Every structure is written in structure tokens, then in C-alpha cells.
């Protein structure tokens, strides 16, 4: 096919797409782009990018920038995805039952429209379909999947991604998944089966939509309000896990939902548990899909919680709790001698794990702790000290949450599952409540969570972690860097010889194959390098370990660990060719 024919074929595909598009905004967006291409010398780069293929449906569902075309998130893609998911569910059900589906959404651009389109597709297939009453946190949707005994849950969210993105997350439960993963996000091969059922070539008009027939779940002020039911369940679950000792629940706490949908639920849960001295960052309290006060709506990113820290200084707070926009993550900041600092995910994971392990006491039999392989190794030591089973998993809560018998699980990216009996996923709301309960007990003694960290370092040795993230413009660059690190592995890291290199993509390991490389040194330093599963990033997870009997004071040990981490970071950067 010559260049003229190729150009005309691409333009024709775009015209057909625009003619079918039910969204006037993305339809006009595409028509404007086509109008600019009437000049035969105009560049096709933008159009080629939008029509380079189709969004890949995987274990993260879908996530991409909003816009027209099969490589963007839009109503055409969502309807075809929902139709494919419906075909998958219908095949699983056969004639044995009618699938039950619940659909949730956050407050991002087009989230409500995507949710309604999905509900219309599922209802047209004859499914029993429920729609959340409003924009609510992802943990509320995950709770509803199990609470309603649904076979499938769909959450329209891009979590902590930039404002221009949206996504489509899928949970399976009910009669489709009956093992420990019931109510959890999909994993392989289920994602592949759903992807195979999505027909990207079918005319959009062939996808049947119901005008009505789905059930909108009870909302605020109604009996059986789904968010209130979730909040009560979380409060009860955490109350059963906390120890009976003096606590000061009047400690001043600053909250921010970062313009997301978790603010009202987080505040409601805390007040219901007796925390009344709450201060919300008003500029960030209401859902806003443009996230106007932050550069990047992720509490992990530098500057994201600056407004919360400023408010904390003004009200002399004892604790800062920040949720990401869909509230499945929880960030915590505490006051130190040098001012406020946010706890790393591994630090908070250790604090939560140690508290829960201690509270289990004589009832630890059958309990299981789990964390992702890229998280700190400290939780395994805590579990062993309390005779609790421990499991390492692949990265992502879709793996952590389906560990059989899970009692507590976490990943370093601020994700914590403290009530797996309610939510088989990371949950920033229940985690925030448990953190507040722990902090209240420390506050009653004139202490804060730093004392928990000090106690852990003294008992288990110091585990210092850091992360090097490399954001790229092209996924090809990630492949090149992974190829380089596999071909030219560093001989030492932080001055210690590398004595073990494990290619995690090869079969035969303790975990299913995944794209990553693990390096271990003679002095127990560990580095894992892997591509991000949700963003165009290469991630490097660094951890150094000093034994509890290492020389020097705790402050001196921490300084030594940070110096080693800096050396390791430099060595990894050099090995990647940065």
C-alpha cells in the first residue's frame, strides 16, 4: 500500500470513529483534528498515535488519557469494553445464574458517563446491575462487591494519575471467583479471557444499551446508604483490632483528600470512631477533576501534601492523613525534630503490621501477613517474631489481596489492607482509621509514631528504603534500560559485592514470572528494578539492612544507612546509563 493509500485509510478510520462517537466533545475533537489534515502535507502524527492500536486490557484494566480514538479513554472504548466484559460474564454464568454487577465511579472527567454506559450495557445483557449513588472511593466499590455478593465490580477511576487520565478497574467475585481472590481485582489469565471477549471491530450501534433497569444504590440520607454501611463496617472491624489501652482521641488531625472523593468518607469514619479534633484542608476538600492545587495528585509526589503540612503547623496538629484521589492509598506525616515528614510506605506498613501482630497476641494461629516483593523485608521479621505466617507476592494489590487467609497486607506505594474481611484491596480509609488509633495511644503518652519506628529499629534492625523512578516518554526506553541492566549487571552496590542476580522474568522462582531483576549483595543490600505497571516509569527499589547489634546510636545507624542508600542509588543510576 503506497503512502497516499495508507494516509487515506487512516483518515477513513477516523471518520468512521467520529461518526459513531456518542460523546459530542470527543466527536468534535476528532472532527477538528481531521479538518486540520485536509492539507495533504499536514502531519499525521497525532492521528496515528490515537489509532496506533487499541488500549490493552490487562490486570490493571484500562488506564489512559481521555480523548477520541482507540488508544484513548472515551465512551466508545468503554462501551466496547463493557460489552466484552458482559460476554465474558455470560459465558461464565451459562444458564446456571444471572450475573450480578456493581459499578462505581470517582469524580474525574467523564467518570459518571463511563459508569452509566457500563450499567446500560450490563442491563441490556439481562444482568442484575447496581450503580453507586454518587462519586465514591474505590474501597467502597470493592466493599460493595462482597457486601452484595456481586459476580463483578467495575470502578471507573484513574486513581492518582494526572487530571487528563481515566481508567476502568475490574473486580471479580460471587460465583465467578470462589477462592481467596473473591472480590479482588483480576489477575491473569482472567484478564486475558476478558480481553479476548472485547470486539474492537464491531460497529458501536450493534452494542445494545438499556435506557433504564439498573438499580441505583441508596445514597446519603437514605436507609442502607452504601457508603455509610461501609463506614460502619470499617469502624467495627478496626475496633476489634485495637488494643484496650489509654488513648487520646482528641489529638488534632489534619486531613486532605487531594481534591478526590475520599474526604467525606474519611472524616465520617474518624468522627464515628470518636475523633473530633479534625481539620480538613478546605482548598482540597471538594472533589475537583482538575486537581488545581497540586502538580500531580499523588501523595507520594513532592509538594502534594504541602498545604496539609502548612495547616498542621497552624493548628499544631499531631498527625496528617492524606488520601489519594480515589482513597485507596493512605499517606501519613508526623512531626519530627526537623519539622514534618511523611512516612515512607514501608515505615507505615511496619507500624501497622507490628501493631496488628501484637494485638493478635495468643490468637495469631491461622493469621497471614503479606507484602509485595518490592516492599521492605521487615514485615517478614515481624511476622516470624509473632509466629504469624508470611507471604511475598508480585507487585500490586491484586496479588496481595488474594493470599489465602490474609490478615494484613501492604505494598510500599502507600497501599494497606487492614480489614481484608471487608475489602480485598488496598483501602486508604480503614488504614487511616487504624493509624489514627495507634497515634491516639501514643499521644496519650506524649509520644507519636516515631516511637513505633524507634522500637522497630531497635528490635529488628534498621531497614532503610528508597526508590529511584525514571519517567520516560516512550515505553521502548524502558525495554532498553531493562536490557542494559540484564546484560551488564553491576558487580557491586554501595561498596558491597553483588553475590546474587535473579531475573524475575524466568520461570522456576518462588513467584510467577514478572519483568524485573533482583540484586542482592554480601552486606544484605537488595535492589529490585522493574517497569511500572500503571505509568511510563522504570522503578528501582532500594533497601539496606543494618542488624540490631550494629555499632553506634540509633541516629548514627540511620545516618550510616542513608549514606549507603545514596551510594546504592548512584550505582544503580550508573548501571542504567542515566
Q: Please name which of 537, 535, 534 lies closest in space to residue 472, comparing C-alpha atoms.
A: 537
80-101 burial, b for 16+ CB within 10 Å, e for fewer?
A: bbbbbbbbbbeebbeeeeebbb
For residues 230 and 139, the answer to whether their CB atoms sit within 8 Å is yes
- Distances in Å between the alpha carbon of 269 and those of 206, 220, 299? 44, 14, 20
Who's near 225: CB < 8 A, 6+ residues apart? 133, 218, 219
What are the cell numbers at 207? Answer: 452494542
The four Cα atoms 400, 295, 305, 399 give a dihedral, to 10 degrees, of 0
Who's near 478: CB < 8 A, 6+ residues apart? 472, 531, 536, 537, 538
* Rounded Cα gap, residues 206 and 507, in angstroms: 42
For residues 66 and 82, the answer to whether their CB atoms sit within 8 Å is no
* Rounded Cα gap, residues 371 and 380, in angstroms: 8
Strand 537-546, strand 462-471: pairing? antiparallel
* Rounded Cα gap, residues 434 and 444, in angstroms: 16
For residues 89 and 127, the answer to whether their CB atoms sit within 8 Å is yes
Q: Exposed (0-12), middle (13-18) or buried (19+): which is 3, by Cβ within 10 Å?
A: exposed
Choosing from 118, 134, 159, 350, the catalytic residue is 159
What are the cell numbers at 542? Answer: 532500594
What are the cell numbers at 232? Answer: 460502619
Q: Please name which of 170, 461, 182, 449 lies closest in space to residue 330, comparing C-alpha atoms.
A: 449
Give me the phi and psi of 13, to 5 degrees please: -60, -40
Q: At what angle do helices 3-20 and 24-35 cross, to 10 degrees?
A: 160
Structure letter (DSSP) for residue 448 = -
Half-sphere exposure of 461 (CA within 13 A, CB side): 19
In sequence order, the β-bridge partners of residue 368 are 389, 406
For residues 468 and 543, the answer to whether their CB atoms sit within 8 Å is no
- Strands (E) in 418-574, as ranges, are 462-471, 492-493, 496-503, 517-521, 526-531, 537-546
What are the cell numbers at 479? Answer: 525495554
**Catalytic-residue membership of 505:** no
- Distances in Å between the alpha carbon of 433 and those of 47, 69, 263, 269? 47, 42, 13, 7
Please identify every residue annotated as catalytic: 159
Amino acid at each position: 500500500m503506497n503512502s497516499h493509500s495508507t494516509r487515506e485509510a487512516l483518515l477513513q478510520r477516523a471518520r468512521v470513529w467520529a461518526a459513531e462517537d456518542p460523546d459530542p466533545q470527543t466527536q468534535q475533537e476528532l472532527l477538528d483534528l481531521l479538518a486540520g489534515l485536509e492539507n495533504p502535507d499536514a502531519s499525521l502524527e497525532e492521528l496515528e498515535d490515537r489509532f496506533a492500536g487499541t488500549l490493552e486490557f490487562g490486570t490493571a484494566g484500562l488506564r489512559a488519557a481521555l480523548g477520541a480514538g482507540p488508544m484513548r479513554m472515551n465512551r466508545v472504548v468503554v462501551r466496547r469494553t463493557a460489552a466484552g466484559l458482559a460476554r465474558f460474564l455470560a459465558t461464565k454464568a451459562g444458564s446456571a445464574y444471572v450475573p450480578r454487577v456493581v459499578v462505581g465511579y470517582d469524580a474525574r472527567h467523564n467518570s459518571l458517563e463511563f459508569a452509566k454506559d457500563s450499567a446500560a450495557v450490563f442491563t441490556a445483557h439481562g444482568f442484575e446491575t447496581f450503580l453507586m449513588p454518587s462519586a465514591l472511593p474505590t474501597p467502597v466499590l470493592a466493599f460493595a462487591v462482597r457486601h452484595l455478593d456481586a459476580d463483578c465490580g467495575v470502578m471507573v477511576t484513574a486513581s492518582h494519575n494526572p487530571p487528563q487520565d481515566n481508567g476502568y478497574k475490574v473486580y471479580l467475585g460471587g460465583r465467578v471467583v470462589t477462592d481467596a481472590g473473591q472480590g479482588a481485582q483480576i489477575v491473569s489469565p482472567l484478564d486475558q479471557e476478558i480481553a479476548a471477549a472485547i470486539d474492537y471491530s464491531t460497529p458501536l450501534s450493534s452494542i445494545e444499551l438499556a435506557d433504564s433497569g439498573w438499580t441505583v444504590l441508596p445514597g446519603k440520607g437514605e436507609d442502607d446508604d452504601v457508603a455509610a454501611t461501609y463506614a460502619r463496617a470499617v469502624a467495627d472491624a478496626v475496633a476489634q483490632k485495637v488494643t484496650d489501652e489509654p488513648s487520646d482521641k482528641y489529638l488534632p488531625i489534619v486531613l486532605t483528600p487531594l481534591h478526590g472523593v475520599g474526604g467525606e468518607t474519611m472524616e465520617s469514619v474518624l468522627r464515628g470512631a470518636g475523633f473530633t479534633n479534625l481539620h480538613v484542608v478546605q482548598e482540597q476538600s471538594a472533589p475537583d477533576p482538575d486537581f488545581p492545587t497540586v502538580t500531580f495528585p499523588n501523595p507520594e509526589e513532592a509538594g502534594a501534601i504541602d498545604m496539609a503540612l502548612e495547616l498542621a503547623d497552624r493548628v499544631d496538629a499531631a498527625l496528617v492523613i492524606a488520601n489519594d484521589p480515589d482513597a485507596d492509598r493512605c499517606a501519613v506525616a508526623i512531626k519530627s525534630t526537623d519539622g514534618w515528614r511523611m512516612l515512607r510506605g514501608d515505615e507505615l506498613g511496619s507500624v501497622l503490621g507490628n501493631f496488628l501482630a501484637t494485638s493478635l497476641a495468643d490468637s495469631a494461629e491461622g493469621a497471614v501477613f503479606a507484602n509485595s516483593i518490592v516492599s521492605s523485608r521487615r514485615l517478614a521479621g515481624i511476622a516470624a517474631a509473632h509466629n504469624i505466617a508470611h507471604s511475598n507476592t508480585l507487585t500490586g494489590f491484586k496479588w496481595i489481596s488474594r493470599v489465602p487467609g490474609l490478615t494484613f497486607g501492604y505494598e510500599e506505594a502507600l497501599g494497606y489492607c487492614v480489614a481484608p474481611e471487608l475489602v480485598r484491596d488496598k483501602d486508604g480509609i480503614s488504614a487511616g482509621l487504624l493509624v489514627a488509633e495507634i497515634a491516639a495511644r501514643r499521644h496519650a503518652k506524649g509520644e507519636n509514631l516515631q516511637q513505633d519506628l524507634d522500637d522497630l529499629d531497635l528490635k529488628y534492625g534498621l531497614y532503610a528504603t528508597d526508590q529511584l523512578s525514571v519517567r520516560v516518554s516512550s515505553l521502548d526506553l524502558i525495554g532498553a534500560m531493562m536490557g542494559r541492566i540484564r546484560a551488564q549487571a553491576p558487580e557491586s552496590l554501595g561498596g558491597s559485592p553483588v553475590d546474587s542476580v535473579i531475573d524475575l522474568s524466568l520461570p522456576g522462582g518462588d513467584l510467577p514470572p514478572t519483568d524485573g531483576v533482583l540484586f542482592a549483595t554480601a552486606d544484605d543490600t537488595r535492589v529490585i528494578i522493574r517497569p511500572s505497571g500503571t505509568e511510563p516509569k522504570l522503578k528501582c527499589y532500594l533497601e539496606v539492612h543494618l542488624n540490631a547489634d550494629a555499632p553506634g546510636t540509633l541516629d548514627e545507624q540511620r545516618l550510616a544507612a542513608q549514606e549507603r542508600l545514596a551510594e546504592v542509588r548512584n550505582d544503580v543510576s550508573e548501571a542504567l546509563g542515566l
